[in-house]
Structure 1
Amino acid sequence: MTNIIWITIESTRADHTSLHSYDRDTTPNLQRIADLDGGRSFSTCISHGIWTRSSSASILTGTWPSRHRAGMDSERIPTELMTVPELLREEGYHTAAMSPNANLSSGTGLDRGFTDFMWIDKSTLLDDMSKATLLKYLFNIRTHGGGLTRDTWRHNTGYMMLDMTKRWLRSFLHSTEPFFLYLHFGDPHHPYYPPLPILKRETARLGLSPKEAEEIALHHHSHIDELVAQGCPYTEEEWRALTALYDGGIEYADKIIGELFDYASALNLDNTVFVITADHGESLGEQNLLGHKIGVHDGLIHVPLIVYGSEEMLDYAGETIQHIDVMKTLLESIGSDTSQLQGIDLRNETRTHTITQRGPCRRQRTLDAYREFNPDFDVSRYLPGMLTAIRTTKFKYLKGENDSRLYRLPDENTDVAAYYDNVTQQFDEKLTRWWEHSGKPITDSEPIDSAFTEALREQLTDLGYFVE
């Protein structure tokens, strides 16, 4: 049976990786893995959602956001849907996951089906993390973290996750069960604060002190709604600093993943597939937006995707791909029940368009936050209600509650619907068929409330999320 190691990186846009000809070599390890025999990078992977909860729920249920509703109009995945780890456990798999983000936790139901699930937070470290791992991190705190400080936002969880994952992998060697390991690396999420060696190198290159760069990053994180409401009033120097710090988080995640890949390979784990991707990207000023709250610009939904160890996926000839396709193909190949999964089998099907969705609640909360700082903030470009974006290699069509937009890529600022009536009509027809066959919620029950503990809520607030 095939082992599966699925690695999801937070907030990582494809165009800020080496895989997509970025002008900085941020992901040499991802490039190396993709270039190996048995490896491949897919050029146009589009996320299902624009933030961790909706995107991760799609990955771990194999369904569209409007189907599972988590992060759309509901806080948790419904019990009517099985999770991928539940399906794999029925096939005899040992399932394990690690997440430093409460959107992927017991609070949202996305821990369901994992034999071992570790949510990483300052409140859980001493109880759940190996003492040896914590000591190693303290010993390497100036290499993998922010130095000796009690400010938790200066510290990265990647090193601790790497060390714990190594322990898990060694334990898997003594089992006859195949395993599914899901890892969510959160270090690129804002506030953009890479480990000290990267921080010092980048600030020296920019002519800034680490303290100055730190202030820019923390102000961005703490005032992100206010900054958007004011039109992102950054100087060129501040934009360069933000971008360099953001890239530094991606570079660090790449370093950790490269070491993890090499370690797992050295263990000679037979028949293991690696999937490396991101849950979503990040807005860095496109359409005057920051973070990942409301837009569906390609910077926010075009993510890297590398698959290694699956010969069956290497020959996929389609121009676009989505996470639920990879998951469907993996589960089909091992003979698992895939009746609820909504992706395509990449071995014999081709995707012609992608679907990304944003829920109505997220739009309303975000715009309300912007208007607190600027009552005259223009909300007209953000289509109301459930937003569904259908994308091909040439066009992106946005459909809201009462309105729509058509963009001729790569331009996502000019609505060209008036010039392409036939294209708009075709997209409308596609979306109507898609909604009837695939997009409807699996249940019409009332939205499900979250089950966030106080610690989960506190972490989400620290990360900048809205918490009821």
Structure 2
Amino acid sequence: MQKTVRENSDNTPMAAPNVIWITLDSVRSDHTTIGGYERDTTPYLADLASAGFGFDTCISHGNSTHPSSGTILTGLSPSRNTVGITGDVLPDSVTTVSERFSEAGYHTACLSRNSYVSSATGLDRGFDRFQWLASETITELPLSTLIKYVRNIRTHSAGLTLDTAKHASPYLMNETAKRWLADMRTEQPFFFYLHYNEPHRPYYPPLSYIDKYTDDIEMSPREAAEFALDVHYNMEKIVANGCELDDREWAALRAMYDAEIAYTDEMIERLVDHVRSLPLEETVIVVTADHGELFGEYGLLSHSYVLTDAVTRVPLVLAGLNEELTVGEDDLLQHTDVMRTLLEVAGADTDGMLGVDLRSEQREYAVSQRGPVEFDEFYEYNEDFDASRFHLPALTALRTDTYRYQESESGSDLFALPDEESDVTEDRPEIAAELSGSLEKWLDEHGQPVGAGERGEFSGAVQRQLRDLGYVD
């Protein structure tokens, strides 16, 4: 197959670029260097952004991996493609991003550490090469890779332990990606999508990073990691009883989370350095996160219940794109904007997709969605738990530079940013009415489901990984 071509401004042909898209899990923007955090947790991403484009206000399309990844990999809103909202599995009628790249002449590959990006959800569709890494599937890796991992188990993971929740996987992701990249140096351009699980809870950094930020906390590195693991396993009980961690405990939890981010930043640096050492033509690299994380906001942990900036505001770095963009580092953007732009550059079909071409357009507002949630487990721990402050059916939020308006069947709220707990609808009814109208129009154009939503039957291996991540008991 011949390389896809696009044209320069003088109408001379220019080869379509390779695209490497790296999604990290659960990285909130304000815990990164490019987000202005007090700790230099992502120095490499900051360097990568300085040579390309860096954004600290990328608003994710969903509050968790399931809906967010469904939108990144289809270009359709969560409620439209139904993944993570009314369904578990991508409907057959939805065209995936990988299929669009394939039709434009690209070789496509996906390496995923998260079971929500796997054959279980249909998000593997359209990739020429796909692999889901889990405790049950790593035995499929070459023996040489596994031996290298075991030899480095203290540097890149938790040491010799049978507790799979403690182990880190970026080393395995990197080694596998390097092997695949060696196979992809062909006449075809390629689209390579990677989903890393870190720093998703439990926050248990590799032993080489476990003391990265513990000098100023009151727990030892090991105590802090074990405490973070205990919080992970008892999250519902802690939240049900008011999320009343003391300053010492909050400091330990954040130290472990930040250490995981810092370790992953180093591993992304190693991978990108390897990519740049290869004799590749123009290669665009995207590094972002699928969603953020809560640390006490709304009395919550994790990321499953609300659509605040802590959950939806993520970093995004775009490097290697030889194009001018119309957006600045402080402007709003969403993952579909970047994906649509890259597809347009690749000469691929983008008909029906969300997003704007960032070479010529900017967005006025961003929209995030969350599926229905239940609080039964919270009531089991505390019968007086108050869920009335949450939107229990599916929730959609529209965010501008200054406001967040959200709406569900149970009502609506208007927040004047950065305050996301005080509803100002009564004080600013005209703003609420304007944003409500914008959201209604958006839902009519982009939010209507393609079908009723398909429920999936997840395998034992998928269930076990979801358990390790805290999604199921």
Q: TM-score range by the shorter chain?
A: over 0.9
Instruction: Please tell me whether the aligned partners of residues 205 and 225 of structure 2 are also in contact (alpha carbons under 8 angstroms).
Output: no
Structure 1 gap segments, 5+ residues each = none
In structure 1, what is the equivalent of residue 321 of structure 2?
Answer: 310
Q: Name whichever of 144-153 and 294-303 sits farther off.
A: 144-153
Indicate whether 1:412 and 2:428 are aligned: no
Instruction: Please tell me whether the aligned partners of residues 48 and 64 of structure 1 are also in contact (alpha carbons under 8 angstroms).
Output: yes
Indicate whether 1:245 and 2:253 are aligned: no
Instruction: Please tell me whether the aligned partners of residues 83 and 113 of structure 1 are also in contact (alpha carbons under 8 angstroms).
Output: yes
Instruction: Please tell me whether the aligned partners of residues 106 and 452 of structure 1 are also in contact (alpha carbons under 8 angstroms).
Output: no
Shift of 1:21: 1.1
Relative distance call for 1:397 and 1:351 in structure 2 (3 A) is same
SS of 2:84's equivalent in the other structure is coil
Indicate whether 1:449 and 2:455 are aligned: yes
CA distance in 1, matches of 2:405, 2:69: 23
Among residues 323, 342, 355, which one is paired with 1:330 in the alignment? 342
Matches within 5 A, 1:45-64: 45-64=58-77
Deviations 1:392-424 (A, max 9, x none): 110001111131001000001111111101100
CA distance in 2, matches of 1:458, 1:16: 29
Shift of 1:134: 1.0
In structure 2, what is the equivalent of residue 161 of structure 1?
Answer: 173
Relative distance call for 1:451 and 1:86 in structure 2 (3 A) is farther
Among residues 286, 292, 296, which one is paired with 1:281 in the alignment? 292
Deviations 1:98-134 (A, max 9, x none): 111111111000111111111111111112x121111
Relative distance call for 1:197 and 1:204 in structure 2 (3 A) is farther
Indicate whether 1:79 and 2:92 are aligned: yes
In structure 2, what is the equivalent of residue 227 of structure 1?
Answer: 238
Specify the code of the residue in structure 2 equivalent to 1:182: Y
Specify the code of the residue in structure 1 equivalent to 2:462: L
Specify the code of the residue in structure 2 equivalent to 1:104: V
Instruction: Please tell me whether the aligned partners of residues 325 and 358 of structure 2 are also in contact (alpha carbons under 8 angstroms).
Output: no
Matches within 5 A, 1:30-49: 30-36=45-51, 39-49=52-62
Deviations 1:130-155 (A, max 9, x none): 21111111111111111122222221
CA distance in 2, matches of 1:32, 1:396: 31
In structure 2, what is the equivalent of residue 368 of structure 1?
Answer: 376
SS of 1:87's equivalent in the other structure is helix
CA distance in 1, matches of 2:438, 2:215: 51
In structure 2, what is the equivalent of residue 26 of structure 1?
Answer: 41
When the two chains are superposed, the root-mean-square deviation of aligned CA atoms in Å is 1.3
Instruction: Please tell me whether the aligned partners of residues 89 and 454 of structure 2 are also in contact (alpha carbons under 8 angstroms).
Output: yes
Q: Name whichever of 449-458 and 228-237 sits farther off.
A: 449-458
Deviations 1:71-98 (A, max 9, x none): 1111111111011111111122111111
CA distance in 2, matches of 1:407, 1:308: 34
In structure 1, what is the equivalent of residue 247 of structure 2?
Answer: 236
In structure 2, what is the equivalent of residue 403 of structure 1?
Answer: 411
Among residues 277, 301, 309, which one is paired with 1:298 in the alignment? 309
In structure 2, what is the equivalent of residue 3 of structure 1?
Answer: 18
In structure 2, what is the equivalent of residue 185 of structure 1?
Answer: 196
Shift of 1:436: 1.3
Relative distance call for 1:207 and 1:419 in structure 2 (3 A) is closer
CA distance in 1, matches of 2:325, 2:353: 21
In structure 2, what is the equivalent of residue 271 of structure 1?
Answer: 282
Among residues 429, 436, 439, which one is paired with 1:431 in the alignment? 439
In structure 1, what is the equivalent of residue 354 of structure 2?
Answer: 342
In structure 1, what is the equivalent of residue 333 of structure 2?
Answer: 321
Shift of 1:259: 0.9
SS of 1:220's equivalent in the other structure is helix
CA distance in 2, matches of 1:313, 1:160: 35
SS of 2:264's equivalent in the other structure is helix
CA distance in 2, matches of 1:242, 1:372: 25
Indicate whether 1:194 and 2:194 are aligned: no
Indicate whether 1:359 and 2:371 are aligned: yes
In structure 1, what is the equivalent of residue 5 of structure 2?
Answer: none
CA distance in 1, matches of 2:410, 2:252: 39
In structure 2, what is the equivalent of residue 13 of structure 1?
Answer: 28
CA distance in 2, matches of 1:177, 1:450: 34
Indicate whether 1:458 and 2:470 are aligned: no
Relative distance call for 1:20 and 1:351 in structure 2 (3 A) is same
CA distance in 1, matches of 2:388, 2:166: 37
Instruction: Please tell me whether the aligned partners of residues 325 and 359 of structure 2 are also in contact (alpha carbons under 8 angstroms).
Output: no
SS of 1:213's equivalent in the other structure is helix
Shift of 1:225: 0.9
Shift of 1:292: 1.0
In structure 1, what is the equivalent of residue 132 of structure 2?
Answer: 119
SS of 2:213's equivalent in the other structure is helix
SS of 1:383's equivalent in the other structure is coil
SS of 1:246's equivalent in the other structure is helix
CA distance in 2, matches of 1:461, 1:86: 31
CA distance in 2, matches of 1:275, 1:284: 26
Matches within 5 A, 1:99-110: 99-110=112-123
Shift of 1:209: 2.6
CA distance in 1, matches of 2:371, 2:192: 29
Indicate whether 1:392 and 2:392 are aligned: no
Q: How many equivalent pairs are there?
A: 457
Higher helix share: 1
CA distance in 1, matches of 2:24, 2:335: 13
Shift of 1:211: 3.4
Structure 2 gap segments, 5+ residues each = 1-15
Shift of 1:313: 5.1
Instruction: Please tell me whether the aligned partners of residues 241 and 382 of structure 2 are also in contact (alpha carbons under 8 angstroms).
Output: yes
Q: Percent of aligned positions with the same letter in both sequences?
A: 44
Runs of 4+ in 1 over 4 A off after TM superposition: none
Specify the code of the residue in structure 1 equivalent to 2:148: K
CA distance in 1, matches of 2:138, 2:92: 29
SS of 2:86's equivalent in the other structure is coil
Deviations 1:343-392 (A, max 9, x none): 111111110100001112xx12xx12212211211111112322110001
Q: TM-score, normalised by structure 1?
A: 0.95
Shift of 1:14: 0.3
Shift of 1:226: 1.0
